[in-house]
């Protein structure tokens, strides 16, 4: 089955649904929450603030307004808690984003990563089956491709996972396939490729490269590159990820016993050296002095050298097409970040 969605707002306006967004105070989760509330949907959310932030929920409220925000019910809690099922009684669609998303943090604390990413996911999908819910969309990761050197990355060809984080996401995919076959739940998992955008946390030792660099530039601190800068990534603006999640949800509403894993990226690789050039060009008007050269540091264990998504399957199955390019997203984000107080 294929599905063509002409307009996400039109599809949302066609039917008011009740959604559960796990990790709703996180980077991606808060953007999903904002889009759903802005389009008249009823949303339940859960977050334990391990990586999510209360200010993200405040930002959503400010953007959608108090009236729309009244359609949001929030619970502070852990998705691994079996009591989650009590919160899901009237939920129709789950967008499961709750996770520990850092390779390095998973190396430092593999048990914590397993609890959040594997036990948490297992509980979510079990509760979904227990409540006879039909549609579950969840976050996997491009780190699943591990040591497979092939480019672009295709869903059917993975390697050996190189970190506990990657292994945890691969475990989620295996559980999803098993539960779908056993209980006929419709499931789509997304292998995200280096998502970036507003509300991404720049602080702490596990922060992603783009918000880290933007914070460094704002504070006049030299930016650090791990490796020689030729390492490349498929950077994907968060608005593209929101689009993919909603298209997947609409697809699964019409499906029967389907389980898929899809790449979600921008479909284009950018080296870290080139990334720095784009950010510096956009940052120029907002800085009192020209950014200096980056500092190079040793390549980190668990990281991969190159990553590029083949998004053909997502395009064909759910109609996913990136709407914001890496350059457009970086330019907009950089200017917003550096112009803010």
pLDDT of residue 4: 46
pLDDT of residue 2: 41
Which of 7-11, 43-47, 282-286, 334-338 has the weakest average pLDDT? 7-11
DSSP secondary structure letters along 156-178: T------SHHHHHHHHHHHHHHH
Residue 116 DSSP label? I
Q: Quick one: tokens of 226?
A: 């791990």
Residue 40 DSSP label? T
pLDDT of residue 139: 98
pLDDT of residue 168: 98
Just list the catalytic residues.
165
Strands 270-271 and 232-233: antiparallel
Mean per-residue pLDDT, 5-25: 87
State which fold the 8-192+238-267+309-323 domain adopts: Rossmann fold (3.40.50)
pTM: 0.93
205 pLDDT more than 50: yes
Other residues' Cβ atoms within 10 Å of the Cβ of residue 209: 20
Domain extents in the chain? 8-192+238-267+309-323
DSSP secondary structure letters along 207-260: --HHHHHHHHHHTTPPPEEESSS--EE--EEHHHHHHHHHHHHHHHHT-SS-EE
Of residues 73 and 89, more confidence is placed in 73
Cα separation values, 287 from 29, 141, 198, 272, 330, Å: 31, 34, 19, 21, 16
Provide CB contacts within 8 A for 215, sequence distance 6+: 202, 203, 207, 221
pLDDT of residue 299: 87
């Amino acid at each position: 089955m294929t599905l063509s969605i002409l307009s996400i707002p039109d599809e949302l306006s066609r039917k008011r649904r009740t959604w559960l967004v796990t990790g709703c105070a996180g980077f991606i989760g808060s953007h999903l929450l904002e889009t759903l509330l802005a389009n008249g949907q009823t949303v339940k959310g859960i977050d334990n603030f391990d990586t999510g932030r209360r200010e993200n929920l405040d930002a959503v409220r400010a953007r959608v307004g108090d009236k729309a925000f009244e359609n949001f019910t929030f619970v502070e809690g852990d998705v691994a808690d079996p009591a989650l099922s009590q919160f899901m009684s009237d939920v129709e669609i789950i967008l499961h984003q709750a996770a520990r998303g850092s390779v390095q943090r998973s190396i430092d604390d593999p048990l914590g990563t397993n609890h959040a990413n594997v036990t948490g996911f297992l509980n979510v999908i079990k509760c979904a089956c227990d409540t006879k819910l039909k549609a579950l969309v969840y976050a996997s990761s491009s780190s699943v491709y591990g040591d497979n050197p092939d480019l672009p990355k295709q869903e059917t060809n993975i390697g050996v996972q190189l970190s506990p984080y990657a292994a945890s996401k691969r475990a989620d995919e295996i559980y999803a396939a098993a539960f779908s076959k056993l209980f006929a739940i419709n499931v789509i998992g997304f292998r995200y490729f280096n998502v970036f955008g507003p509300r991404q946390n720049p602080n702490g030792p596990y922060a992603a490269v783009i918000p880290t660099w933007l914070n460094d530039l704002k504070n006049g601190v030299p930016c650090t590159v791990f490796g020689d800068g030729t390492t490349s990534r498929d950077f994907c603006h968060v608005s593209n990820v929101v689009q993919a999640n909603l298209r997947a949800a609409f697809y699964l509403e019409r499906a029967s016993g389907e389980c898929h894993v899809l790449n979600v990226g921008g479909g284009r690789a950018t080296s870290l050296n080139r990334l720095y050039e784009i950010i510096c060009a956009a940052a120029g008007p907002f800085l009192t002095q020209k950014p200096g050269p980056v500092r190079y540091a040793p390549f980190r264990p668990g990281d991969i050298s190159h990553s590029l998504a083949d998004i053909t399957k997502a395009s064909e199955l759910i109609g996913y097409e990136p709407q914001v390019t890496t350059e457009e997203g970086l330019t907009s984000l950089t200017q917003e970040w550096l112009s803010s107080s």
